[in-house]
């Protein structure tokens, strides 16, 4: 069984070598916009099909429909707007019907947008709908308000030749993951989204999921995250060590997702699932406080939002797991569904707790994470501390 891309076809907006040369040659005559790492991540994912059926940045109609109704103009569920923000000054030189050259943070040309619309971004409305808060202590809200207040829409042609992830060997496109699944004979695959090292609770729910599907795609997000999140290179070392030692090699695959983290909780859970369908997955793990931050979202809000979505249209099955813990009575991982233990016999685990322990110079115990992973995290933490 082949999982169809979202919208029916995998978008490919990567320019050929000859087309890229022509676009670069013509760029000197076009208005120029330097984009942020966040926007570069969106641009790349559009280009390789991770955000299919989008072939460019949303116009005002699509933006409004997504913000207000969580769907694209054609009716497909879609939870987070994907826009190209620009400043008022940049927008003043841009007109519908012309091209705009986009430049990556390193100054190299990244793409050309064929402009179909220029419109105002209603950031207050977007914050309330997408993030459920206008509090700029929320990292996603703060990032949105730092961006320009106007948006440029239109299809893109991608010409950037640099790897945007830092992990070129692990950055498989949707076409490549789909080919890898087929080669392994996987008819069903479950994706696991993470921005943290995998602790024992993660391992438990992944292996529960593996009991009912053919393969597991560990798909860590390596785009822009909060400053206190564990660096991507450290996380990748942890993933490799864990998968090599504790998972069946023929049933698990590691690849990075070059998306920026929004911390939009429930809405981002839908967004993450759509991308994983494009990468070829049939199932998507949704655990406790998916894509959450602070106390802005309820513990299981990211699971409940799937009850508001047409799952047939979404085309990927959410696998919902309760808060996992290490059970001191049974000496194994469990959930309230499988353990008779009282609350004081449950060791609850989270990425936040890992970071807190590391900040105190404490090595996470084996009930929390595998000892090899604890050693990597401690070494990384100690190396980042100032001398003395």
Residues 6 or more apart whose CB falls under 8 angstroms from that of 290 comprise 193, 265, 266, 268, 269, 272, 302, 303
Point out which residues pair with 119 in neighbouring strands. Answer: 151
Alpha-carbon distance of 329 to 341, in angstroms, equals 6
Buried b (16+ CB within 10 A) or exposed e, 320-356: bbbbbbbbeeeeebbbeeebebeeeebbebbbeebbe
- Cα→Cα distances 174→86, 146, 299, Å: 28, 30, 30
Does 195 qualify as catalytic in the annotation?
yes
Angle between helices 232-246 and 371-384 (to 10 degrees): 160
- Which of the residues 150, 196, 235, 370 is marked catalytic? 196
For residue 65, how many C-alpha atoms fall within 13 Å in the half-sphere facing its CB? Answer: 13
Token output for 84: 């190209």
Q: Which of 150, 195, 277, 370 is catalytic?
A: 195
230: left (phi over 0), alpha (psi -120 to 50) or beta: beta
303: phi then psi, degrees, rounded to nearest 5: -85, -40
Tell me which residues are annotated as active site.
195-196
């Amino acid at each position: 069984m082949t999982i169809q891309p979202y919208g029916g076809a995998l978008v490919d907006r990567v320019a050929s070598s000859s087309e890229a040369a022509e676009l670069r040659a013509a760029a000197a005559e076009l208005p120029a916009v330097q984009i942020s790492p966040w926007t570069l991540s969106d641009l790349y994912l559009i280009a390789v099909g991770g955000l299919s059926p989008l072939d460019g940045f949303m116009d005002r109609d699509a933006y409004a429909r997504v913000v207000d109704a969580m769907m694209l103009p054609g009716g497909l569920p879609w939870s987070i707007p994907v826009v190209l923000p620009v400043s008022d000054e940049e927008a003043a030189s841009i007109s519908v019907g012309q091209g705009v050259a986009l430049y990556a943070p390193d100054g190299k040309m990244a793409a050309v947008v064929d402009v179909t619309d220029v419109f105002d971004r209603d950031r207050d409305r977007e914050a309330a709908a997408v993030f459920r808060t206008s509090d700029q202590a929320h990292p996603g809200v703060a990032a949105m308000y730092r961006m320009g207040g106007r948006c440029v829409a239109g299809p893109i042609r991608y010409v950037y030749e640099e790897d945007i992830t830092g992990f070129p060997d692990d950055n498989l496109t949707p076409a490549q993951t789909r080919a890898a699944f087929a080669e392994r004979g996987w008819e069903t695959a479950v994706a696991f989204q993470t921005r943290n090292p995998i602790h024992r609770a993660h391992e438990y729910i992944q292996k529960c999921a593996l009991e009912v599907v053919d393969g597991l795609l560990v798909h860590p997000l390596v785009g822009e995250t909060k400053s206190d999140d564990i660096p991507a290179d450290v996380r990748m070392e942890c993933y490799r060590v864990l998968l090599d030692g504790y998972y069946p090699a023929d049933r698990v695959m590691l690849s990075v997702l070059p998306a920026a983290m929004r911390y939009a909780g429930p809405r981002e859970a839908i967004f993450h699932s759509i991308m994983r369908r494009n990468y070829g997955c049939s199932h998507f793990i949704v655990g406790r406080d998916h894509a959450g931050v602070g106390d802005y979202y309820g513990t299981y809000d990211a699971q409940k939002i799937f009850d508001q979505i047409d799952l047939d249209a979404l085309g990927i099955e959410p696998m919902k797991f309760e808060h996992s813990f290490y059970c001191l009575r049974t000496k194994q991982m469990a959930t309230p569904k499988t353990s008779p233990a009282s609350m004081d016999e449950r060791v609850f685990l989270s990425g936040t707790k890992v970071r807190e322990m590391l900040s105190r110079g404490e090595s996470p115990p084996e009930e929390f994470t595998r000892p090899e992973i604890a050693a990597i995290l401690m070494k990384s933490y100690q190396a980042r501390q100032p001398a003395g």
